């Protein structure tokens, strides 16, 4: 059984192989076989992950850390060592299980969703490539291997967002995601450079062991630079702007990459590198408040979105904010817990919205939906499960994990803890409200579907993943039940070795009552949000189609609908001063100095080449002369050195 620990590299290798096969032979394999092939490879990875999990579980608690180096890229000579290996520990096993599990369901769903697309096989090649990169990211034994996966998922995200590149908006959105992510990547790279120069290694375990020897400033810098990387990938303010636009991609992509897995890479990275954060309380504060601002800001924006997927996109940004709040108070276990449950219910919601879009022939505006539960009962039923989960209704998955984060913040204490709790409280209320709004606008109330559209339920291949995810959204929270500690906090206990000594301030045993009370409050918020939502939208939209909230909020509503004009602001700055500055650089510095230099080199090379070509007469006697001249030159030089 332990052998599986050495063979964990098979888990990313399988989908990578699938991707290669599909890229080369995809057209020949065709639809739907290439979809099944891709699903098969990721499914096999899931099974392999299960065995790896069992293998790790069979180890004693303090031995659950297994590094296996596949090969050394460079070694032997000098200090520059680049080992390529995998690190199997409780954290990476949790990640591979949920990435492969949810990945398999979404691959399966895509076979139905992408039916008839001219680039069907190409889509699955990219999906498999994404899965391989994501698994490399979480399994890597060093920052560099993780970074390779990190770049891989970024590339796949770009390819899949702009998958329908014939649509200009899709192509633009892809570019926006790519460029924004690069900003974060620079942070990640700088963190690695700094670490290597100070510690001489970027392998996880040696780097963590050496972290305590560094100065406080260095550790804070590394932690914050890693956080910049995480902000890009996990869409935290102000690098969140790419995620809502990323919804231009096919919906399964939104579910897999932009909700369940890739966007949580930042959370994973900080949990993996928590040693640096633990040493630096100031880094913790920054992470916590960025998370809080994101959680609240995105939740307010989600209230005023009309596109079914954009609501979910802002909701994802907001939930990611929660996870960073948890990291900010040192509650890494809670962050991972919420990451997993969020993956369940957000994947479910996205796939459900995909089924709606599919059933309505590419309609995404919620104002032209309504009362769809009659036409697509399974989609509606499962969507409601997702809604209750994210709104935090007991006993759905989201309740447990969100409550965990809020409780951890509360008991962290001090102005930071209490402040974070208050922000989380408000955001939770808003979450319940906007999700209620979405469910009522889409599935209940008056039917506002255009007359020539005939809604229909999706095929089984799409509804089956919905059912599985609905079940997971219901039961998912049971993997880590609070109150009963330490007996039933399975996930928390399992993760302990990876995040040892850093689970935040434990809830003291005496505060059990307080914890219970907090849970009741959390439940109360969820219920109130739902109640407000129902009272506003229970009949759908009025005949004039104007959202009641829009009318009541007035100017504020307009600001929210435009996401605080953040995008506009960025665009204004980029098109204004930045473009001006860029033009200055382009025309002045670049045009004259750098271009001059480059063109100068180019011209010199060209002219030199032409000159050399003139020497290349093709006449043997000239060549012989050249050799003779060279020989004379060498002898003359040697003569000068004769002693």
Partner 1 sequence: MTAWLAVAAPILPPIATPRVDWPTVAPVVAMFGAALAIVLLRALVRHSRRLVDTTSVVLAFAGMATAAGFLFYQWHLVRETGGYQTFAGAVAVDGLAVFVQAIVLGACALGVLLGLGYVRREALELPELLALLLLCTTGMMVMAQANDLVVVFVALEVFSIALYVLSAFDLRRAESQEAGLKYFVLGAFSSAIFLYGIALTYGATGTTSLTGIATFLAGNTLTHTGLLLAGFALLLVGLGFKVAAAPFHMWTPDVYEGAPTPITAFMSAATKAAAFGALLRIFAGSFQLYVSDWRPVVFGLAVASLVVGTVAAAVQTDVKRMLAYSSIGHAGFVLIGLQVANAGASGNRLPGTAAALFYLLVYAVMAIGAFGVVQVMTQRGDTHHALSDYRGLARTEPAIAGLLTLFLLAQTGVPLTGGFVAKLAVFRSAVDAGQYQLALIGMLAAVISAFVYLRLVITMYAPNSDAENAAAEGAEPAPRVRIDPGAGIALFLTAAAVLVLGVMPNWTLDIAHQATQLLAK
Contact footprint for partner 1 (CB under 8 A): 71-79, 601-602, 605-606, 608-610, 612-613, 615-616, 618, 620, 622-624, 626-627, 629-631, 633-635, 637-639, 641-643
| Those residues with Cβ within 8 angstroms of residue 640's Cβ, 6 or more apart along the chain or in another chain | none
The nearest distance, CB 620 to partner 1, in angstroms, is 5
Q: What is the distance between the alpha carbons of residues 68 and 55, in angstroms, rounded to a whole number?
A: 14
d(CA 299, CA 428): 8
At closest approach, how far in Å is the CB of 622 from partner 1?
8
Supply the minimum distance, in Å, between the C-beta of residue 150 and partner 1: 16
- With respect to partner 1, which residue has the nearer C-beta, 71 or 510? 71
Question: Token pair for residue 522?
Answer: 């959390």
Nearer to partner 1, 509 or 619 (CB): 619
SS3 365: strand
Closer to partner 1 by Cβ: residue 569 or 602: 602
Query: From CA 519, how far away is CA 517, in angstroms rounded?
Result: 5
Cβ atoms of residues 134 and 99 within 8 Å: yes
- Name which of 54 and 624 has its Cβ closer to partner 1: 624
CB of 640 to partner 1, least distance (A): 9
CB of 603: closest distance to partner 1 in angstroms?
Answer: 11
Burial of 169 (0-12, 13-18, 19+ CB in 10 A): exposed
**Full DSSP string of 25-56:** HHHHH-TTHHHHHHHHHHHHHHHHHHHHHHHH
Distance between CA atoms of 501 and 499, rounded to whole angstroms? 6
| Residue 78 or 116 with smaller CB distance to partner 1 | 78
CA 578 distance to own-chain centroid: 28
Which residue, 554 or 637, is less far from partner 1 as judged by CB?
637
Which helix (H) or strand (E) covers residue 563, if one does? none
Length of the chain: 643
Nearest-angstrom CA–CA distance, 272 and 262: 15
Nearer to partner 1, 281 or 608 (CB): 608
**For partner 1, the closer CB: 30 or 608:** 608
Shortest approach of partner 1 to residue 352 CB, angstroms?
39
CB of 625 to partner 1, least distance (A): 9
Spatial CA neighbour of 332 closest among 277, 294, 292: 277
Task: Compute the C-alpha angle 243/246/250, nearest 5°.
Answer: 140
Taking the C-alpha atoms of residue 557 and residue 313, their distance in angstroms, rounded to an integer, is 18
Task: Tell me the closest approach of the beta carbon of residue 587 to partner 1, in angstroms.
Answer: 24
């Amino acid at each position: 059984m332990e052998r599986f620990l050495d063979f964990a590299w098979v888990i990313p290798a399988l989908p990578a192989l699938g991707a290669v096969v599909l890229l080369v032979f995809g057209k020949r394999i065709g639809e739907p076989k290439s979809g099944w092939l891709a699903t098969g490879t990721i499914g096999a990875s899931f099974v392999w992950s299960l065995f790896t999990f069992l293998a790790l579980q069979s180890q004693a608690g303090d031995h659950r850390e297994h590094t296996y180096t596949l090969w050394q890229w460079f070694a032997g000579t000098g200090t520059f060592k680049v080992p390529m290996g995998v690190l199997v520990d409780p954290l990476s096993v949790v990640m591979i299980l949920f990435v492969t599990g949810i990945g398999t369901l979404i691959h399966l769903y895509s076979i139905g969703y992408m039916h008839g697309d001219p680039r069907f096989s190409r889509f699955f090649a990219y999906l498999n490539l994404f899965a391989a990169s994501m698994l490399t990211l979480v399994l890597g034994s060093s920052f560099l291997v993780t970074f390779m996966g990190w770049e891989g998922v970024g590339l796949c995200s770009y390819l899949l967002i702009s998958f329908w590149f014939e649509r200009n908006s899709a192509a633009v959105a892809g570019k926006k995601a790519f460029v924004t992510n690069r900003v974060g990547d620079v942070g990640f790279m700088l963190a690695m450079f700094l670490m290597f120069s100070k510690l001489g290694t970027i392998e996880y375990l040696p780097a963590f062991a050496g972290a305590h020897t560094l100065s406080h400033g260095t550790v804070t810098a590394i932690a914050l630079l890693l956080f910049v990387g995480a902000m890009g990938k996990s869409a935290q303010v102000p690098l969140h702007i790419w995620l809502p636009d990323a919804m231009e991609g096919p919906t399964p992509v939104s579910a897999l990459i932009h909700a369940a897995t890739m966007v949580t890479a930042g959370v994973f990275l900080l949990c993996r590198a928590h040693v640096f954060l633990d040493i630096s309380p100031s880094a913790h504060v920054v992470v916590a408040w960025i998370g809080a601002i994101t959680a609240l800001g995105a939740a307010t924006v989600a209230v005023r979105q009309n596109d079914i997927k954009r609501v979910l996109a802002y909701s994802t940004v907001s939930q990611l904010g929660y996870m960073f709040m948890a990291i900010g108070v040192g509650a890494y276990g809670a962050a991972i817990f919420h990451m997993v449950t969020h993956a369940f219910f957000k994947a479910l919601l996205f796939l459900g919205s995909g089924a709606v879009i599919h059933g309505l022939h590419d309609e995404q505006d919620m104002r032209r939906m309504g009362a769809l539960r009659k036409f697509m009962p399974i989609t509606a039923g499962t969507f409601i499960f997702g809604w209750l989960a994210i709104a935090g209704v007991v006993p759905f998955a989201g309740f447990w994990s969100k409550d965990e984060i809020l409780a951890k913040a509360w008991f962290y204490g001090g102005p930071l803890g209490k402040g974070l709790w208050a922000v989380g409280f408000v955001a939770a209320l808003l979450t319940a409200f906007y999700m209620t709004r979405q469910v009522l606008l889409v599935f209940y109330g008056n039917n506002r579907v255009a007359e020539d559209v005939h809604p229909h339920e999706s095929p089984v291949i799409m509804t089956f993943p919905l059912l599985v995810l609905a079940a997971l959204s219901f039961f998912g929270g049971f993997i880590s039940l609070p109150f009963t500690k330490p007996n039933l906090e399975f996930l928390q206990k399992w993760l302990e070795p990876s995040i040892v000594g850093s689970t935040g301030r434990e809830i003291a045993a005496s505060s059990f009552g307080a914890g219970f009370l907090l849970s009741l409050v959390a439940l109360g918020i969820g219920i109130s949000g739902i109640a407000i939502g129902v009272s506003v939208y229970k009949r759908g939209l009025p005949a004039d189609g104007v959202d009641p909230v829009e009318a009541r909020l007035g100017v504020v509503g307009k600001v929210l609908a435009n996401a605080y004009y953040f995008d506009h602001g960025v665009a204004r700055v980029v098109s204004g001063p930045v473009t001006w500055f860029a033009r200055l650089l382009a025309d002045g510095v670049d045009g004259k100095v750098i271009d001059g230099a480059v063109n100068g080199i180019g011209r010199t090379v060209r002219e030199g080449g032409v000159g050399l070509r003139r020497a290349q007469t093709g006449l043997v006697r000239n060549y012989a002369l050249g050799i003779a001249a060279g020989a004379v030159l060498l002898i003359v030089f040697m003569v000068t050195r004769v002693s």
